Structure 1
Amino acid sequence: MTRFTAGLRCLLPAAGALVLACGPQGAAAHEFWIQPERFWLPAGTSTPMTLQVGTGTERQRSQLPPRRVLRFDATALDGEPQDLRPALTLGAPDADGALSFAQPGAYVVTLRSDANAQSHQSAARFNAYAEEEGLTPALETRAAKGLQAIDASERYSRQTKALIQVGDGGAQEAVTRPVGLALEIVPEVSPYVLPRSTTLPVRVLYEGQPLAGALVKLTDLADDAAPLEQHRTDDEGRAGFAMPSSGAWMMDVVWTKPLTDEGVDFETVFSSLSFGFPVRTR
């Protein structure tokens, strides 16, 4: 059974269901990404995709409702986004949609949700979560105000990209261009043209500017109980990872900012980048 097929086991039992049959819910599962069945496609063919949330024992299909999707599109060399929202089938039994592209090259598939979801956590749980994800603004704000023992709340959005390679070769420039997310991992070189024995450099942007001190994690989606590698970004928002040689991968990063007079303490963005390589045959 593939991880894509396994991910389909945690399904919404009905369109109006509020609870999934397996795994925890809500912001407790921080990771969120686009999971196509194949990251490499022949031109003119399609692949089903799901939206996944959580890793390890927490992994499941996302319950993101269509009304919360502000953007779902694909960008290629010409830089003009192709709206893919009509292709979404969120909560359907088999997949959350399908991806298909006619021309060779690399495509950046982007999804952005609104920030209407909220999380309310005890002081201990929030402090542990902020430490785990490297949320320096939250830790510093709570320390400065003496709030470490006070429960905390946040509103949050999910913002993610997947790199889809169509055909052999083709233009890769779209991969290295920002697509305008509030929090975004931008490869400085396409992983689909890098030698497998080198470093994959990425840059993290927050509200359009390089973000220093963010904790970026790289996870093997076939063995996702814990990140394989993680680094904090430098003063220019950069980090480097050992280039994967095969399989499906996800990078993720979280950042937040304090709010005042908005009913919640912080506004948080969960962002990710997924990519993968063709299955090797003997």
Structure 2
Amino acid sequence: MRMLALIAAVFPCAVNAHEFWISPLQYQIAADAPLVADIRVGEDFEGSAFSYLPMRFRRFDLAMGEDVAEVPGRAGDRPALTMPAPTEGLAVVIHVTTDSVLTYKEWEKFESFTTHKDFAWAMDRHRQRGLPDTGFKERYSRHGKSLIAVGKGAGSDKVQGLLLEIVARANPYTDDMEEGMPVTVFYDGTPRADSQIELFDKAPDGTVTTSLHRTDAQGQATIPVARGHSYLVDSVVMRAVDPASEEDPVWESLWASLTFAVPMDQAD
């Protein structure tokens, strides 16, 4: 009961309007070393680590090549991911949360969120729908991926079937990153054109910088990277929801994230 109370009281509140990402303890590991990663929520690539909580996720998988398997664990395990690597290559960790709901008590918070995430249109749409400025609800879910090199880390990312997904079109551990990391954003299986991407860049000294980028007509963008840095790439979709009752959400946000690192011997 104590664990359930902690989840209900802390986890949904913590993810409100914050980034969500998979945070490996090491982005490159030996072939015989375990895969270890936290699930984190926070701001500016810094945040609290959460436990393995089956009631809080729809998917928690590890993909390597054509093989996809569920991440094993027990409720309360932290780090959330601790398992032997099944083989050498590029490991893609996948985590999709269940839905959570938040209530906007201040219009300014909705305004700040939609403006920052490039959804300013939602404010006009909200009023066109005759919705109140306060007391309305939003449903949200998180769709995270992380790239970890096991041994030499050979392999490639691909579409993993997430509703909102960022796919790396190069391998940061084996490919030349001099021109940047190419990614594609997919929404419901279709490349998401002309959409905002937020990039969090963590330097070796822990300094974090952020920048905004946009996908092209094919849903693609190239992210600037540097040797020895780790990255969180973030993309968000906002969509209107038709409520069945006054208690139901009127908006839904989908959050995608991708984390990876660039080794010291890659990129400039």
TM over 0.5: yes
The answer as to 2:32 corresponding to 1:44 is yes
> 1:189 and 2:170 equivalent?
yes
Residue 165 of structure 1 pairs with residue 149 of structure 2 = yes
Q: Tell whether 2:179 aligns with 1:207.
A: no
Q: Which runs of 5+ in 2 are unaligned?
A: none
In 2: Cα distance, 1:134 partner to 1:64 partner: 32
Q: Are the aligned partners of 1:212 and 1:236 in contact in 2 as well (CA < 8 Å)?
A: yes
1:235 aligns with 2:222: no
- Aligned equivalent of 1:110: 94
The amino acid across from 2:145 in the alignment is: K
> RMSD over aligned Cα, in angstroms?
3.1
Change (3 A) 1:221 1:148: farther
Instruction: Summarize deviations over 1:76-102 as a string: whole Å, max 9, x none.
Output: 22x231111x23x4544x522314313
Could you tell me which runs of 5 or more consecutive residues in structure 1 were left unpaired when the two chains were aligned.
Answer: 1-13
Distance 1:155 1:23, change over 3 A: closer
TM-score normalised over the length of structure 1: 0.80
Other-structure match for 1:276: 261
Q: What secondary structure is seen at the aligned counterpart in 1 of 2:3?
A: coil
Q: Say whether residues 1:178 and 2:159 are aligned partners.
A: yes
Q: TM-score, normalization: structure 2?
A: 0.83
Identity of aligned residues (%): 28
- Gap change, CA 1:137 and 1:31, over 3 Å in 2: same
1:192-225 deviation line (CA, Å, top 9, x unaligned) = 2332421211111111111123221111246788
State yes or no: 1:75 paired with 2:63.
yes
Provide closer, same or farther for how the CA distance between residues 27 and 179 of structure 1 changes in structure 2, counting only shifts above 3 A. Answer: same
Match of 2:233 in 1: 251
Cα offset, 1:234, TM superposition: 2.1
What is the one-letter code of the residue matched to 2:94? T
The amino acid across from 1:241 in the alignment is I
Q: Figure out how many residues of one structure are paired with residues of the other and give that number.
A: 259
